[in-house]
Amino acid sequence: MFGSAALSLIFSKVSIKPGKPVWFGRSGRTLVMGLPGNPTSALVTARLLLAPLLAGLSGREPMEALRWRSATLKTALRDCGARETFHRARWSGNDVEVFAFQDSSAQKVLADADLLVRQNANSPDIHAGDEIRALDF
C-alpha cells in the first residue's frame, strides 16, 4: 500500500549496471519511482530514468534529458556481462577516460565523474581510440 491507493508496478527492475534495485509504479494518479539505496546506483538510475520522467512531466520532450554524444575512448573497456553497463568517466582533453575502479561503492569516482559511458549488454572489448556514447552526468 502506498498512501490510500494500492501501488501498481509498471516495472520492478532494469537490466543495467549499476542500477539495482529500481522500480517505477503508480499509486492512484501519482507516479512513484524507487531508487537504489547505494549512492552510485541511485545517481546513475536517476540520471537515466528519473531525469527523462521529470522532463516529460514538466512539458519537455523526455529524450531531451538523454542527449547522448559520440566521443573517443582513451581507456579500453573489457567485455561486459548480460546487463547494459554505465561506466563513470571524465573528459581527458578531447577524449573520454573511464575510471579504472567502477565498484558502486566508489564515492570518490562518483564525485569526480563528468560522464556516463554506455556499454551495451554482452558487448565485446572496446579499445582505446574507439568511438563510444557518452552522457553528461
Helix then strand then coil, in percent of the chain rounded to 5, is 20, 35, 40
pLDDT at 8 over 60: yes
pLDDT tens per residue across span 50-80: 999 999 999 999 999 999 999 999 999 999 9
CATH number of 67-136: 2.40.340.10
Return mean pLDDT, the chain.
Answer: 93
- In this structure, what are the phi and psi dihedrals at residue 51, rounded to the nearest 5 degrees? -60, -45
Domains of the chain by residue range: 7-64, 67-136
The runs of H, that is alpha helices, within the chain are 39-45, 51-57, 107-112
